[in-house]
């Protein structure tokens, strides 16, 4: 690595460490501004078991987005009550226009809209104290997970040979900024998968999966209560939760479910074809990996 690049890398690493030390000192003296970043998805919300509930013009979607907004509200209120000064919510599902934001506390800022530069983690930086992942779903191809997919149900991904879902990628992206995932909610299968990489993160099961389109669901009010309780607890133990970590270069494997879609990925420079349905990519960091995954999913989902 040339000296100039090494110096930039070193300085970048140093500034993150210095920022962390400074935050800890300020926190000790009661001066820190606690900021929480909530990434919200709809598939893992209480009562959602079918893709008919995740978009479109039907009453099913309207009911689902109401519960989605109630669960986001519960987390935001609890975070503010427990001492957070700022809460950002990323409306991460579909076109990013699902949240009924007038139901949220006035202090909350909402990131809305689709095709953003870095969907899922826009504006997430080292100044945040913790990330909440709300309404997560299992990875593509998960037997027994509710509406399982990883950006697309036509693609599955591995990082360093381990299967990854959206929650793994988002946790690693936050980890690159030294921000821990302090709370996660979703169906029982998704939480079982997430616990591998996030062993110390408190979790709230919103429903018990009994198939890709079926679950044993708790009362929506009960889920909101659990989210409030666990959010308060998460803020109390925030310093004991370690950020997820990975060091680059990051090895990614991509598999398409249908050979017809393979040719679309062949258009992407830097992807190495392994066989008819598999590709490899080496990314500098998780930011590069996440951008590629999101790009591949957009390509295979595009209608021509």
Contacting range for Zn ion; rule: CB under 5 A; set: 87-95, 177-185, 201-209, 266-274: 87-95
Contacting range for Zn ion; rule: CB under 5 A; set: 29-37, 38-46, 74-82, 156-164: 38-46
31 Cβ neighbours under 8 A, 6+ residues apart = none
Q: What is the DSSP string of 198-266?
A: -TTS-EEEEEEEEETTEEEE--HHHHHHHHHHHHHHHHHTGGGPPPP---SSEEEEEEESSHHHHHHHT
Nearer to Zn ion, 121 or 281 (CB): 121
The burial of 141, by beta-carbon neighbours within 10 Å (0-12 exposed, 13-18 middle, 19 or more buried), is given as middle
Neighbouring-strand partners of residue 110: 89
Nearer to Zn ion, 43 or 77 (CB): 43
CA distance 206 to 214: 13
Classified as helix, coil or strand, 138 is: coil
* Tokens 């149900």 found at: 153
Both tokens of residue 139?
A: 């990875």
Q: Which residue is nearest to Zn ion (CB)?
A: 93
Nearer to Zn ion, 42 or 289 (CB): 42
Contacting range for Zn ion; rule: CB under 5 A; set: 4-12, 89-97, 236-244, 292-300: 89-97
β-bridge pairing 86-91 and 35-40: parallel
CB of 92 to Zn ion, least distance (A): 7
Nearer to Zn ion, 90 or 197 (CB): 90
CB of 93 to Zn ion, least distance (A): 4
CB of 166 to Zn ion, least distance (A): 8
Nearer to Zn ion, 93 or 228 (CB): 93
CB of 153 to Zn ion, least distance (A): 11
CB of 43 to Zn ion, least distance (A): 5
Q: Give Cα separations from 293 to 39, 154, 156, 219, 301 (angstroms).
A: 18, 12, 10, 35, 12
Residues 42-71 that bind Zn ion (CB under 5 A): 43
Contacting range for Zn ion; rule: CB under 5 A; set: 57-65, 86-94, 170-178, 209-217: 86-94
Does residue 93 interact with Zn ion by CB under 5 A? yes
CB of 277 to Zn ion, least distance (A): 24
Whether residue 128 contacts residue 35, with contact meaning beta carbons closer than 8 Å, is answered with yes
Look at residues 220, 222, 167, 158 and name the one whose alpha carbon lies nearest to residue 189.
167
Total residues contacting Zn ion by CB under 5 A comes to 3
Contacting range for Zn ion; rule: CB under 5 A; set: 34-42, 204-212, 234-242, 284-292: 34-42
The alpha carbon of 217 is separated from its chain's Cα centroid by a whole number of angstroms, namely: 22
Does residue 41 interact with Zn ion by CB under 5 A? yes
Nearer to Zn ion, 41 or 176 (CB): 41
Does residue 23 interact with Zn ion by CB under 5 A? no
CB of 221 to Zn ion, least distance (A): 23
CA distance 189 to 209: 6
Nearer to Zn ion, 93 or 154 (CB): 93
CB of 213 to Zn ion, least distance (A): 15
Binding site for Zn ion (CB under 5 A): 41, 43, 93
């Amino acid at each position: 690595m040339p000296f100039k690049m090494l110096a930039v890398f070193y300085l970048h690493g140093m500034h993150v460490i210095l920022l962390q030390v400074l935050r800890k000192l300020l926190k000790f003296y009661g001066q820190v501004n606690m900021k929480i970043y909530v990434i919200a998805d709809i598939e893992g919300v209480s009562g959602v078991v079918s893709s008919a509930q995740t978009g479109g013009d039907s009453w099913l979607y309207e009911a689902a987005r109401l519960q989605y907004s109630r669960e986001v509200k519960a987390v935001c209120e609890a975070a503010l009550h427990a001492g957070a000064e700022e809460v950002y919510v990323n409306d991460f599902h579909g076109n990013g226009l699902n949240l009924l934001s007038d139901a949220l506390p006035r202090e909350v800022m909402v990131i809305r809209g689709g095709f953003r530069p870095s969907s899922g983690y826009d504006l997430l930086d080292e100044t945040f104290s913790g990330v909440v992942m709300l309404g997560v779903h299992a990875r593509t191809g998960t037997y027994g997970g509710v509406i399982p997919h990883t950006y697309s149900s036509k693609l599955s991904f591995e990082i360093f040979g381990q299967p990854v879902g959206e929650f793994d990628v988002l946790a690693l992206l936050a980890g690159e900024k030294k921000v821990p995932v302090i709370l996660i909610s979703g169906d029982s299968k998704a939480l079982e998968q997430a616990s591998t990489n996030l062993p110390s993160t408190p979790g709230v099961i919103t429903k018990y999966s009994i198939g890709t389109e079926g679950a044993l669901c708790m009362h929506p009010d009960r889920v909101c209560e659990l989210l409030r309780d666990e959010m308060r607890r998460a803020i109390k133990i925030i310093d004991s939760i370690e950020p997820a970590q990975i060091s680059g270069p990051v090895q990614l494997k991509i598999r398409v479910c249908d050979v017809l879609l393979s040719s679309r990925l062949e258009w992407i420079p830097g992807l190495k074809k392994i066989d008819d349905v598999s590709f490899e990519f080496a990314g500098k960091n998780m930011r590069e990996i996440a951008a590629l995954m999101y790009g591949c999913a957009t390509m295979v989902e595009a209608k021509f």
